[in-house]
Structure 1
Amino acid sequence: MRRIRAAAIGAVTLSLVLTAAACGGGSTGGGAGSNEQPRTLTYWASNQGANLEVDKKVLQPELDKFEKATGIEVKLEVIPWSDLLNRILTATTSGQGPDVLNIGNTWSASLQASGALLPWDAANFGRIGGRDRFVASALGSTGAQGQDPAAVPLYSMAYALYYNKKMFADAGVAKPPATWDELIATGKRLSKDGKSAIGVEGANLSNNIHQVFVLGKQHGADFFAPDGKADFTSDGAVAAVKQYVDLMAAHGIVAKGNAEYAQNQSLSDFANDKTAMVLWQTASATFKAQGMSDDEWGVAPAPVRSGAPGQGTATNSMVAGINLAVFRNTKNIDGAMKFVNFMTGDEEQKILNKAYGSIPPVKSAQRDPAFDTPALAVLRETLATSAAALPQVPEESQFETVVGTAVKELFADAAAGRPVTTASVRDKLEKAEQQMPKK
């Protein structure tokens, strides 16, 4: 068996309401009344590699390089995604937090509303080379519209359709599907002999949200009204959720056991020739950790309703990725700014994104030929032309929880043989909407 990757890439479900403001920075040295500049920074990095040790091996040489150039030591802690949000929330209330930290980009508006993070106004962007260095889609996932961003993009990711070449060849399928109708037709050819066409993770709330958000865009739904009020029961939102669950409930191209799958379980089936396709974000490093070689899988843009991917109803990915934030009240703001400048510089962007199989959100770094491979070219094109940011509203965390749970419950219904109808989907989404804060 190929080994299962220990940690997730990308954002995780936000389950707590973010209301407390930060009350203390994390660096030491040069305290109140001292003219001495602090010589250390504390950095919380998210787990991007196959395990925590891989991240330390990737990051520590770069942090040593930063210390040699600036004299500032960076104290690194790599935190699993399962713990990171709770650690951040504790830091905002206790004052025992880092100076600089990674956040999932879908958290940006929620953490922005807490008041804990340094706003990136024009002056702060000027200290790292300017706002225009960054890809527009990545900047769109850094905080609420009309406010200064709460973080800057560090690693960019996008969803694509990954397919198992052996399973496609065995079924006589020549190319990956480009539309949902093609996916269903192809899926019926692939779903045989105890194998399934496409994997889902029905118990993975954040992945549920990512998929139904994209389908919602394809059906003209945003899940939030322009005034920020939850709008989960529009015809487009209901159609999007039903379409996703119907891959199991109506079409039978998803194995019923997938209703209970959590993070990365669908990838294990894909790597072990049990599932022919997965919709996943920036997965090449994940497959390698599972033991797959690059020639065993292919990648194509995620399906759309008809025609080619693009903006609006042809959106085929959420803007996935990791942002880099500074705690507002760090005692070493100068060092923190130097560190963000270093991490978002062209050279480091190339090094780090190559290591993690992600796309640099810095335009000039994307020109490196390393990001022009067939797999990464699909992701880069998706981010540039057909990806949309999840709603940048303070209630985004609750959205992920309540709608992600509704989708989980509908997959459970499908797995148990209970009917999944337009009415039952609307009922689940109405109950989810009732759990949201009232505007």
Structure 2
Amino acid sequence: MRRIRAAAAVVIAVSTLAGATACGGGSDTSGGGSNDSPKTLTYWASNQGPNIAADKKILTPELKKFEKQTGIKVKLEVVPWADLLNRILAATSSGQGPDVLNIGNTWSASLQATGALLPWDKANFDAIGGRDRFVDAAVGSAGAAGKDPSAVPLYSLSYALYYNKKMFADAGIAKPPATWDELVADGQKISKNGTSGKWGLGAEGGNLSENIHHAFVLGKQHGADFFDGSGKPTFTSPGAVAAVKQYVDFMAKDKIIAPGNAEYAQNQSLSDFSKGKTAMVLWQAAATTFASQGMKPEDWGAAPVPVESGTPGQGKDINSMVAGINMAVFKNTRNTKGALKFVKFMTSDDEQKILNKSYGAIPPVKAAQQDPAFSAPDLKVLKDTLSNSAAPLPQVASESQFETTVGTAIKELWADAAAGRAVTTESVKAKLTKAQQQMTQ
């Protein structure tokens, strides 16, 4: 999932809306409200580009193309990530929602548990060309195991290490780091213990989802999961504690992240990277944003996120969560047939090439991935990561609550680091203990 921050109120909403359903509120149909001749659909798109205006510029011509082909007008609203989950949950309770919407794939199981989304059973998948058109890992991140997915993959993403080539050359660094020890050493050459005016690595301490994504990956590398096989939280396991401490220590101990990053929100780390203030950033499909901020392709490179062994893979060599955007339909939309047509259009081979090229993402549709455009060096890193060394976040109903509670715990630890307060194994465990207790309230 990309660019997601959930407020505490969302946690309560997810748990209390189990079993709720929603009506698509913006659809006009002919024939007295039947699904036979839909005239319009409403669509909430997530903010994927550098800004909302960029998304509208990318999506509007494609929606016009769909209208020309089908006669169905799509009313577009691009919703910022900071608002999207709250908007979706409000729609599930009020019935005043869109017909079709984007969701971050890590929310899939949580939203599935509300009962508000159309299940993607065999018949619905067949209506858009079949489930086997999609990459298995992408479908696997669209809902809980053993249940029909709650959404269809739209854009696939993974994390990469982006680095500033000039800053590396100026510091005498010949290649991107493959291990965390190398990353810390490289970062310290650039940061010089905070005296150089530049920093080795960027982070977004105020971005709860970013905190979770990196803690999850580092947890895998420490042999830990944040939930057991029955879906119970295990936030205080030694591996989970070590993972969170390693992440925050990039600022607290290693001094390669600027203290101000403790309060950074969405995309602020990318802005610093684009301005040459930081030499490295861990991010998903950042090329479009870099270009919008004046960077040229030759200014930066992309490499796999480090692992202790230096060779990404499975088990302790996982180096990314399976990230991406899914497309869902509200179960009680009055335009089911029109909604299915729209999802089919957006996930068609041609549209997948157009949209994923525009956003610098990887198509989750197998045929579209074969386009040479997705063999660019940075996209090859993302594609190889998705294929070989990524793992889905826990597909449990309480996943969004996990993002809020643990994401907030890490945010508080960043604040400690920025203020010069000690970040110890004990203080990390105390924060994660509090987060785990909140999960059971």
| Alignment-mate amino acid for residue 97 of structure 2 | G
Residues 99 and 330 of structure 1 are in contact (CA less than 8 Å); yes or no, is this contact kept in structure 2?
yes
Residues 184 and 253 of structure 1 are in contact (CA less than 8 Å); yes or no, is this contact kept in structure 2?
yes
* CA deviation profile, 1:301-358 (whole Å, cap 9, x unmatched): 0000113101111010111111000010111111111111111010000000011111
Partner of residue 350, structure 2:
347
Partner of residue 271, structure 1:
274
Mapping of 1:229-308 within 5 angstroms? 229-308=232-311
Partner of residue 69, structure 2:
69
Q: Distance in 2 between matches of 1:417 and 1:398?
A: 29
Partner of residue 107, structure 1:
107
Q: Distance in 2 between matches of 1:400 and 1:280?
A: 17
- Runs of 4+ in structure 1 over 4 Å off: 31-36
Which of 419, 424, 431 in structure 1 is aligned with 2:422?
419
The TM-score normalised by the length of structure 2 is: 0.95
- SS of the residue 1:435 aligns to: helix
Partner of residue 5, structure 1:
none
Aligned residues: 431
Partner of residue 328, structure 2:
325
* 1:163, distance to aligned residue in structure 2 (A): 0.3
Q: Distance in 2 between matches of 1:358 and 1:23?
A: 30
Q: Distance in 2 between matches of 1:115 and 1:153?
A: 19
* 1:249, distance to aligned residue in structure 2 (A): 1.2
* 1:30, distance to aligned residue in structure 2 (A): 2.9
Partner of residue 160, structure 1:
160
| Alignment-mate amino acid for residue 4 of structure 2 | A
Deviates most, 132-141 or 20-29: 20-29
| Alignment-mate amino acid for residue 104 of structure 1 | G
Partner of residue 42, structure 1:
42
Are residues 1:24 and 2:23 paired? Answer: yes
Deviates most, 40-49 or 171-180: 40-49
CA 1:427–1:72: 2 relative to 1, 3 Å: same
- RMSD between aligned alpha carbons? 1.5
Q: Distance in 1 between matches of 2:228 and 2:108?
A: 19
* 1:133, distance to aligned residue in structure 2 (A): 1.1
Mapping of 1:40-439 within 5 angstroms? 40-192=40-192, 193-437=196-440
Deviates most, 313-322 or 410-419: 410-419
Partner of residue 13, structure 1:
6
| Alignment-mate amino acid for residue 275 of structure 2 | N
* 1:36, distance to aligned residue in structure 2 (A): 5.4
- Show structure 1 runs of 5+ residues with no match: 1-7
- Show structure 2 runs of 5+ residues with no match: none
Deviates most, 17-26 or 427-436: 17-26
Residues 11 and 105 of structure 1 are in contact (CA less than 8 Å); yes or no, is this contact kept in structure 2?
no
* 1:72, distance to aligned residue in structure 2 (A): 1.4
Q: Matched residues, percent identical?
A: 70
| Alignment-mate amino acid for residue 126 of structure 1 | D
Residues 259 and 415 of structure 1 are in contact (CA less than 8 Å); yes or no, is this contact kept in structure 2?
yes
The TM-score normalised by the length of structure 1 is: 0.95
Q: Distance in 1 between matches of 2:135 and 2:33?
A: 41
CA 1:430–1:33: 2 relative to 1, 3 Å: closer
Q: Distance in 1 between matches of 2:45 and 2:163?
A: 31
Q: Distance in 1 between matches of 2:95 and 2:250?
A: 46
Partner of residue 3, structure 1:
none
- SS of the residue 2:439 aligns to: coil
| Alignment-mate amino acid for residue 130 of structure 1 | G
| Alignment-mate amino acid for residue 297 of structure 1 | W
* 1:9, distance to aligned residue in structure 2 (A): 4.9
